[in-house]
């Protein structure tokens, strides 16, 4: 059930149009800066889509601001390092220009990585088989825990990055290592993408190659009704242990219908942005730079920190606000 969040407030290419929109999001980057979460003295600027586009043109594989300081040690106030997981056709650079510095400024140890690349030499990640990507996440979480000494991490993911960790939790033993999964517009139950699934079936029937053959197994796997999603969701959406928070926008044009993002089960909170902020028009891409949504993330991680209550500011599609 979607609850009004007064306390806390796939990325999947659809051939031409959706890939074009998502390509905008890929063009963002950060500079690796030490963030010393335990001191909570960081004052990194909060990036926008536009500053990210410029930065990504020069260093598309770099870490977002505030992330990947491997000397960071979690504080007693924020004992769980935060692992950021991007979506399909994206990267850590384009996805976390706003949230990574926000977390670092708030005193968190922040880590991000790129996974699932099938097109070497491009800035596009998250296209490989999702089970393989989940194994990469498992290895990265182990590295973060070993470096920080933390027993568990919190995961924040977007689109596929909000759904793929559930495979890690369910099938790769990740539930013991994850305290919380916060998902922005996740593809939890797949997407119809306004009929893309039927269109793909028609093309394949005519002898055209599948999305998997074209180098994006994750695209096929995120279509509603895929065998991957049937396996993932069989027996329930959640596993015992971690807490789950889903933050979604009613204007999501990639995960369709938008309600397919939500989870059912114990320890789940589903947040619909428009139930807390009527003037929030962010879409699948814009949610990454939506201050209302990112305040919800900080609230979830910080147990309803009153300093991050949603401002309910006017938010545009794509660019956020």
pLDDT of residue 301: 95
Residue 290 lies in a domain: yes
Lowest mean per-residue pLDDT among 45-59, 130-144, 275-289: 45-59
Q: Give mean pLDDT, residues 3-8.
A: 38
Which tops the pLDDT comparison, 182 or 39? 182
For residues 205-230, give the mean pLDDT: 80
pTM: 0.84
For position 16, what pLDDT does the model report?
32
State pLDDT tens for residues 86-107.
999 999 999 999 999 999 999 9
Selection from 86, 83, 114 nearest residue 22 by Cα: 86
Is residue 54 one of the residues assigned to a domain?
no
49 occurs within a structural domain = no
Q: Which residues contact 182 (CB under 8 A, 6 or more apart)?
A: 154, 155, 156, 157, 162, 245, 247, 297, 300, 301
pLDDT tens-digit profile of 72-88? 999 999 999 999 999 99
| 181 lies in some domain | yes
pLDDT at 191 over 50: yes
Cβ atoms within 10 Å of 317's Cβ, excluding its own: 18
Q: In the predicted model, is pLDDT for residue 172 greater than 60?
A: yes
State the pLDDT confidence band at 319, using cuts at 50, 70 and 90.
Answer: confident
Confidence of residue 51 (pLDDT cuts 50, 70, 90): confident
Whole-angstrom CA distances from 73 to 35, 147, 150 are 10, 8, 8
pLDDT digits (tens, 9 = 90+) for 243-297: 999 999 999 999 999 999 999 999 999 999 999 999 999 999 999 999 999 999 9
Q: How confident is the model at residue 196 (pLDDT cuts 50, 70, 90)?
A: low
In a domain, 93, yes or no: yes
Distance of CA 10 to the CA centre of its chain: 9
Q: What are the DSSP calls for 238-303, one per residue? A: --SSSEEEEEE-TT-SSSSSGGGG---STTEEEEEGGGT-TTB---TTGGGG-HHHHHHHHHHHTT
pLDDT at residue 59, rounded to an integer: 78
CA dihedral of 104, 105, 106, 111, whole degrees rounded to 10: -10
Q: pLDDT grade, residue 210 (50/70/90)?
A: low
36 vs 121, residue with greater confidence = 121
Instruction: Pull the structure tokens for residue 247.
Output: 């933050």
- Strand 243-248 relative to strand 268-272, pairing: parallel
The count of domains in the chain is: 1
For residue 61, being part of any structural domain is answered with no
Mean pLDDT of 54-63: 78
Could you list the residue range(s) of the whole structural domain that residue 173 is in?
2-26+79-308
* Local confidence band at 204 (pLDDT 50, 70, 90 cut-offs): low
Task: CATH number of the domain at 190, please.
Answer: 3.40.50.1820
In whole numbers, what is the pLDDT of the chain averaged over residues?
83
Structural domain contains residue 313:
no
Query: Average pLDDT, stretch 225-233?
Result: 97
Q: Is residue 41 in a domain?
A: no
């Amino acid at each position: 059930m979607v609850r009004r969040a007064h306390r806390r407030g796939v990325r999947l290419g659809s051939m031409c149009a959706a890939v074009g929109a998502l390509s905008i999001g890929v063009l963002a980057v950060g500079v690796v800066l030490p963030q010393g979460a335990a001191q909570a003295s960081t004052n990194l600027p909060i990036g926008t889509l536009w500053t990210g586009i410029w930065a990504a043109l020069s260093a598309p594989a770099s870490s977002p601001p505030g992330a990947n300081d491997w000397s960071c040690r979690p504080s007693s106030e924020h004992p769980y390092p935060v692992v950021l997981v991007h979506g399909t056709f994206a990267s850590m650079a384009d996805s976390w220009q706003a949230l990574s510095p926000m977390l670092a400024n708030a005193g968190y140890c922040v880590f991000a990585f790129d996974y699932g690349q099938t097109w070497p030499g491009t800035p596009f990640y998250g296209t490989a088989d999702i089970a393989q990507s989940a194994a990469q996440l498992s290895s990265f979480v182990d590295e973060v825990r070993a470096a920080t000494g933390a027993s568990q991490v919190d995961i924040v993911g977007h689109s596929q990055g909000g759904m793929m960790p559930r495979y890690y939790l369910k099938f790769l033993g990740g539930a013991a290592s994850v305290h919380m999964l916060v998902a922005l517009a996740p593809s939890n139950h797949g997407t119809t993408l306004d009929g893309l699934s039927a269109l793909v079936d028609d093309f394949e029937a005519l002898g055209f190659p599948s999305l998997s053959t074209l180098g994006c197994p994750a695209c096929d796997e995120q279509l509603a009704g895929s065998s991957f999603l049937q396996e993932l969701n069989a027996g329930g959406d959640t596993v015992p242990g971690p807490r789950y928070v889903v933050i979604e926008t009613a204007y999501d044009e990639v995960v369709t219908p938008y309600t397919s993002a939500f989870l059912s089960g114990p320890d789940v909170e589903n947040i619909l942005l428009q139930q807390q902020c009527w003037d929030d028009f962010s879409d699948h891409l814009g949610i990454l730079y939506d201050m209302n949504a990112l305040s919800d993330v900080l609230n979830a991680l910080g147990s309803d920190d009153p300093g991050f209550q949603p401002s309910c500011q006017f938010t545009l599609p794509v660019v956020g606000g």
